[in-house]
Structure 1
Amino acid sequence: MEAIFRKATQRIVIATFASNVHRIQQVFNAAMATRRKIAVVGRSMVNVVTIASELGYLNIPEGMLIEPEEVNKMAADRVVVLCTGSQGEPMSALTRMARSTHRKVDILPGDTVIIAATPIPGNERYVGRTVDELFRLGANVIYGPGSVSRVHVSGHGSQEELKLMLNLIRPKYFIPIHGEYRMLHHHAKLGESIGIEKDNIFIIDNGDTVEFQGGVARKSGKVPAGNVLIDGLGVGDVGNIVLRDRKLLSQDGILVVVVTLSKQDGKICPVRTLFPAASSM
């Protein structure tokens, strides 16, 4: 990362997971080595940087942080923008910059944009769309584990690391979690390879339950799981009736009837259809 910082001749915009405090520290270290100031953009990124620095998990040199409003006022080769949006989220800071809709930061031709994260399965389209828009704006985009700079590797443990954890813990029962089903399957196979009995490994879907009784585990029934439909500004103020109605709408759909009234006499205006044959059926 520091090598990229040294080669960049204009501003640097770097997007990563706000929860990856170690990576955020690497950004601050590279900025300090290249004498650049950092502007933090994106609500979750601001919250993490603030709290992590207060608790001592981030070492931020005094005077390094600047406000986003100051980015356009400083020399381009002295600024780094640390932001959210590594997964192409529609309302994230990087995506809005790519669409030229961010209120405080614009992407200029010659800027270097680093996406320091691997797309989560299912997000590839959004990330690819954001990268395309950044290239259209004239930015130099560095992304993906296969890029020349190799700026990012997976934040997840490799197979050997997972086997090490299993060998240290030596569990009787093992429930792989996190990731797509194919990943859970391979994780379960790792458990078998270090000696966990196949019958003691449970691959479960959302809503599945595993019951422990008398020191014995078994797969049990299901519980409701999935999206929670809410109404209003909060979550705690939603009643059962609202949730029931929203659930019915999601399953059965909704029918909207539109009627045009005449301003002069208030009567229903005749409907003209583009498909008279279909309307007569």
Structure 2
Amino acid sequence: MSALKFIALSGTTGVTENLYVYEYGNDMIVVDCGVGFPESEMFGVDLVIPDFSYIKQNAAKLRGILISHGHEDHLGALPFLLKDVKTTIYATKLVGGFIQDKFEDYDTQSPKISVFDPEKDVLTLGVFKVTPFRVSHSVPDGVGFCIDTPEGKIFHVPDYKFDWTPVDGRPFDVAKVATLASQGTLALASDALGANTPGYTESELSIQGRIEAIAQNVTGKIYLTTISSNISRMQQTINIAAKLGRKVVLIGRSIERKAQIAKDLGYLFYPNDLVVKSKQASRLPPDKVLYIISGSYGQPGSALYRLCMGEHDFLTIGKGDVVIFSSDPAPPGSKTNVDFLVDKLIEGDVDVHYYDMQEDLHVSGHGSIGDIETLFALTKPKYYIPIGGTIRHMRAYGLIAERMGAPEENVLELLPGEIVEFGNQTARRVGKVPVKEVLVDGLGIGDVGNVVLRDRHILSKEGIVIAIIHFDRNESVLIDSPEIMSRGFVFEQKYGRILEDASKELARAMQKKKSINANVVKNIAIDFLERYFYQKTGRRPMILPVVVEV
């Protein structure tokens, strides 16, 4: 007999790479498919994506992918999954536009996207009947899902808060959720990221006054940076510019593309003459222009980064200008980049407004304790599944549920890959799907593992020593002393003739061996040079022996 399975393939114990599976018999649906961002020590890694192995193995069951909203950690991995799996993506109009745009960056067939209206549509995907409903978040057109299964209703609400004055005028559809939950809720899988934050999360509308207070006294250029999908923040900034008599310039490919999509689809509003091209803006006085610029996380190569480094093609910045950072605190691996840019700007006498320094110029899109309690009271689930947070967030979420009367055993804090099986109104853990982090490095997907990262770490910290060894394979002897060179290891003027001395000592060590071949020569070179350089310098460079057989 079939049972309902919920599998958190990714998105638990971390705040990105959201990917969840619901499976019953021969039917399976996926909710969200996001990317993660590399840690600072993951040298050369561009993105981290979930492990799709389980979905690929069960592709025949897949009835569709539901996307909750337009952030990268919920949709950014779709091009990687759909290279191997063919199915329909279900999303709201704005999110569908973002997804279509995302696929243009990849050599992948254009996806099949089915746009739904959360006000009225119900989706039938195999045995699953899915009713979407509006939620409030930092990007418009976000939804949660009520998934009607043969075992009961499960509410899946990834990123949300209760914002009664949202910028787009479309608040969380509380009435619809209450109606859907009135006949009983088996489980709630919902956002845990704000479970340690007291009270209710502020409205997005509260930010506009803070930004305006800064902008109204500026006599130079204003640069505001936020993530490209934050259409609400763009709308607020455009409103402020119009009020202050400034023209708006969109700078950065991602900002320009997202803004155009949102305007075309009716989610971003402004008179056509308010937003101008950069060439037109260059003829305006500094106090008549406001730039919305990409690079809020300090990404090297972004428009803001190039501006700060004096490398932008046509923009400059200096004393009298203002930069406003209005985005979430930088994700892991990015804060160092942001801090570098902030310091660079301050050094150049730019007035910087940054969440670590001054006013709170960003409101979280994630519900705090009060929001979480409200959702619990609305849905009244039997089982609680925290998602989208670290272990401490999941534990705090569980404590909220317990304070509201949930038995401890009914809170399911899952590790990535864990399977929960629902049957006869009960839930039990039944095992784990093997999952691993998949690293994207340029065109390579999953090619980079711990060994490669370790080697890159050594290269970055200790440098490399290359030993070129000419070896007579007939006589099994060296031909002359090895040629040793280094990069990023030592400054030779400080350590004298260390490389030359190492060459002579290595040759002597080789000559003591009676029977050697090319492989033995490599191993001797690695072992000897590692010990030699550590004794002389206290450092352990990567040793790369190159044996030339003649």
Residue 10 of structure 1 contacts residue 110 of structure 1 at CA under 8 Å; is this kept in 2? yes
> Is the alpha carbon distance of 1:101 and 1:207 closer, same or farther for their aligned partners in structure 2, counting shifts above 3 Å?
farther
> Is the alpha carbon distance of 1:142 and 1:167 closer, same or farther for their aligned partners in structure 2, counting shifts above 3 Å?
same
> Is the alpha carbon distance of 1:104 and 1:2 closer, same or farther for their aligned partners in structure 2, counting shifts above 3 Å?
same
Name the one with the larger strand percent.
2
Write the distance in 2 (CA, Å) between the matches of 1:179 and 1:95: 29
Write the distance in 2 (CA, Å) between the matches of 1:150 and 1:257: 51
Greater Rg, structure 1 or structure 2?
A: 2
Indicate the SS of the match to 2:232. Answer: helix
Indicate the SS of the match to 1:13. Answer: strand
Write the distance in 1 (CA, Å) between the matches of 2:301 and 2:389: 24
Q: How does 1:184-203 map to 2 (within 5 A)?
A: 184-203=394-413
Residue 145 of structure 1 contacts residue 153 of structure 1 at CA under 8 Å; is this kept in 2? no
Does 1 or 2 have the higher relative contact order (CA < 8 Å, sep 6+)? Answer: 2
Residue 229 of structure 1 contacts residue 247 of structure 1 at CA under 8 Å; is this kept in 2? no
Indicate the SS of the match to 1:81. Answer: strand
Residue 119 of structure 1 contacts residue 127 of structure 1 at CA under 8 Å; is this kept in 2? no
Write the distance in 1 (CA, Å) between the matches of 2:442 and 2:450: 14
1:140 and 2:351 are equivalent in the alignment: yes
Write the distance in 2 (CA, Å) between the matches of 1:145 and 1:59: 31
Residue 21 of structure 1 contacts residue 52 of structure 1 at CA under 8 Å; is this kept in 2? yes
Residue 13 of structure 1 contacts residue 112 of structure 1 at CA under 8 Å; is this kept in 2? yes
Shift of 1:247: 4.0
Q: How does 1:141-160 map to 2 (within 5 A)?
A: 141-144=352-355, 147=358, 149-160=359-370
2:498 to 265, 274, 279: 274
> Is the alpha carbon distance of 1:181 and 1:41 closer, same or farther for their aligned partners in structure 2, counting shifts above 3 Å?
farther
Q: For each residue in 1:252-278, what CA deviation from the matched residue of structure 2 results, as whole angstroms up to 9, or x when unmatched?
A: 8599966499xxxxx988525725367
**TM-score using structure 1 length:** 0.81
Residue 36 of structure 1 contacts residue 80 of structure 1 at CA under 8 Å; is this kept in 2? yes
> Is the alpha carbon distance of 1:191 and 1:90 closer, same or farther for their aligned partners in structure 2, counting shifts above 3 Å?
farther
Q: For each residue in 1:106-138, what CA deviation from the matched residue of structure 2 results, as whole angstroms up to 9, or x when unmatched?
A: 222211100012414534322221110111222
> Is the alpha carbon distance of 1:87 and 1:191 closer, same or farther for their aligned partners in structure 2, counting shifts above 3 Å?
farther
Q: For each residue in 1:192-212, what CA deviation from the matched residue of structure 2 results, as whole angstroms up to 9, or x when unmatched?
A: 222222212122333434333
1:250 to 452, 470, 473: 452
Write the distance in 2 (CA, Å) between the matches of 1:146 and 1:162: 29
* Identity level (%): 29
**TM-score using structure 2 length:** 0.44
Write the distance in 1 (CA, Å) between the matches of 2:414 and 2:393: 12
Write the distance in 1 (CA, Å) between the matches of 2:340 and 2:450: 34
> Is the alpha carbon distance of 1:198 and 1:80 closer, same or farther for their aligned partners in structure 2, counting shifts above 3 Å?
same
Write the distance in 1 (CA, Å) between the matches of 2:301 and 2:418: 32
Residue 145 of structure 1 contacts residue 152 of structure 1 at CA under 8 Å; is this kept in 2? no
Residue 468 of structure 2 contacts residue 482 of structure 2 at CA under 8 Å; is this kept in 1? no
Shift of 1:33: 0.1
Match of 1:129 in 2: 340
Name the one with the larger helix percent.
1
1:30 and 2:232 are equivalent in the alignment: no
Indicate the SS of the match to 1:168. Answer: helix
1:88 and 2:298 are equivalent in the alignment: yes
Shift of 1:251: 7.3
Match of 1:8 in 2: 218
Write the distance in 1 (CA, Å) between the matches of 2:450 and 2:337: 30
Indicate the SS of the match to 1:175. Answer: strand
Residue 386 of structure 2 contacts residue 398 of structure 2 at CA under 8 Å; is this kept in 1? yes
Indicate the SS of the match to 1:45. Answer: helix
Indicate the SS of the match to 2:387. Answer: coil
> Is the alpha carbon distance of 1:33 and 1:99 closer, same or farther for their aligned partners in structure 2, counting shifts above 3 Å?
same
Residue 255 of structure 2 contacts residue 293 of structure 2 at CA under 8 Å; is this kept in 1? yes
Q: Which amino acid aligns with 2:345?
A: L
Indicate the SS of the match to 1:7. Answer: coil
Match of 1:114 in 2: 324
Q: How does 1:56-67 map to 2 (within 5 A)?
A: 56-67=266-277
Match of 1:176 in 2: 386
> Is the alpha carbon distance of 1:15 and 1:205 closer, same or farther for their aligned partners in structure 2, counting shifts above 3 Å?
farther
Write the distance in 2 (CA, Å) between the matches of 1:124 and 1:155: 19
Q: Which amino acid aligns with 1:271?
A: E
1:45 and 2:255 are equivalent in the alignment: yes
> Is the alpha carbon distance of 1:230 and 1:59 closer, same or farther for their aligned partners in structure 2, counting shifts above 3 Å?
same
> Is the alpha carbon distance of 1:246 and 1:19 closer, same or farther for their aligned partners in structure 2, counting shifts above 3 Å?
closer
Q: Which amino acid aligns with 1:152?
A: H
> Is the alpha carbon distance of 1:183 and 1:13 closer, same or farther for their aligned partners in structure 2, counting shifts above 3 Å?
same
1:68 and 2:270 are equivalent in the alignment: no
The unaligned stretches of length 5 or more in structure 2 are: 1-210, 457-463, 471-478, 485-496, 510-527, 529-550
The unaligned stretches of length 5 or more in structure 1 are: 262-266
Write the distance in 2 (CA, Å) between the matches of 1:252 and 1:81: 41
> Is the alpha carbon distance of 1:84 and 1:214 closer, same or farther for their aligned partners in structure 2, counting shifts above 3 Å?
farther
Residue 467 of structure 2 contacts residue 483 of structure 2 at CA under 8 Å; is this kept in 1? no
Shift of 1:47: 1.9
> Is the alpha carbon distance of 1:98 and 1:205 closer, same or farther for their aligned partners in structure 2, counting shifts above 3 Å?
farther
Q: For each residue in 1:12-37, what CA deviation from the matched residue of structure 2 results, as whole angstroms up to 9, or x when unmatched?
A: 00011222221111101000001111
Residue 71 of structure 1 contacts residue 105 of structure 1 at CA under 8 Å; is this kept in 2? no
Indicate the SS of the match to 2:269. Answer: coil
Q: Which amino acid aligns with 1:250?
A: V
Residue 12 of structure 1 contacts residue 79 of structure 1 at CA under 8 Å; is this kept in 2? yes
> Is the alpha carbon distance of 1:200 and 1:270 closer, same or farther for their aligned partners in structure 2, counting shifts above 3 Å?
same
Indicate the RMSD between aligned Cα atoms, in angstroms: 3.0
